[in-house]
């Protein structure tokens, strides 16, 4: 049994390791996968492919209960706003025990949007926006 707490909402979820259905975003059993399984909004603009930093979280407890950071995650994290010594990408961090993570304020649009989540999947490139056609 593992417990993951998501701050600042202070939502605690419990599950058997390896038993959650995979939600097709990020590594199976990752913090992102766990969040999606329990309906906790966590941005993941690149679909959990270690190609953005929108799933950036800060680990407050239980760092040793996450998979080791790999080189591609470390390289990507270097680009994250507000990087800390305890930062991880939720899509790459596989849960192996109890952890407490904080979703940074820049990744909390869902609080303001009453549960909505930004979908960047259909984002229009800047040069193609209406009124920007030249
Ligand atoms: S969702 Fe893009 S890096 Fe995690």
Domains and CATH numbers, the chain: 2-112 (3.10.20.30)
Q: Quick check: pTM over 0.75? A: yes
44 Cβ inside 6 Å of ligand 1: yes
Contacts with 130 (C-beta within 8 Å, 6 or more apart), sequence order: none
Residue 81, burial from CB neighbour count under 10 angstroms (0-12, 13-18, 19+): exposed
* Mutational test site, ligand 1, from 36, 45, 88, max ligand atoms within 8 Å of CB: 45
48 Cβ inside 6 Å of ligand 1: yes
Return the pLDDT at 105.
79
Whose C-alpha lies nearest to ligand 1, atom 3? Answer: 50
Total residues found in the chain within this entry: 134
How does pLDDT run along the chain (134 residues), one tens digit per residue? 999 999 999 999 999 999 999 999 999 999 999 999 999 999 999 999 999 999 999 999 999 999 999 999 999 999 998 999 999 999 999 999 999 999 997 665 544 444 444 444 333 444 444 444 44
Return the pLDDT at 121.
39
57 Cβ inside 6 Å of ligand 1: no
């Amino acid at each position: 049994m593992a417990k993951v707490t998501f701050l600042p909402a202070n939502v605690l979820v419990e599950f058997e390791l390896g038993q959650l259905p995979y939600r097709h975003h990020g590594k199976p059993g990752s913090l992102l996968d766990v969040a999606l399984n329990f309906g906790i909004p966590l941005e993941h603009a690149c679909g959990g492919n270690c190609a953005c930093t929108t799933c950036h979280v800060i680990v407050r407890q239980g760092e040793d209960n996450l998979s080791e950071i790999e080189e591609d995650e470390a390289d990507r994290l270097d680009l994250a706003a507000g990087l800390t010594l305890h930062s991880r990408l939720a899509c790459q961090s596989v849960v192996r025990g109890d952890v407490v993570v904080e979703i940074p304020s820049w990744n909390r649009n869902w609080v303001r949007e009453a549960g909505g989540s930004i979908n960047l999947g259909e984002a229009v490139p800047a040069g193609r926006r209406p009124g920007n056609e030249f």
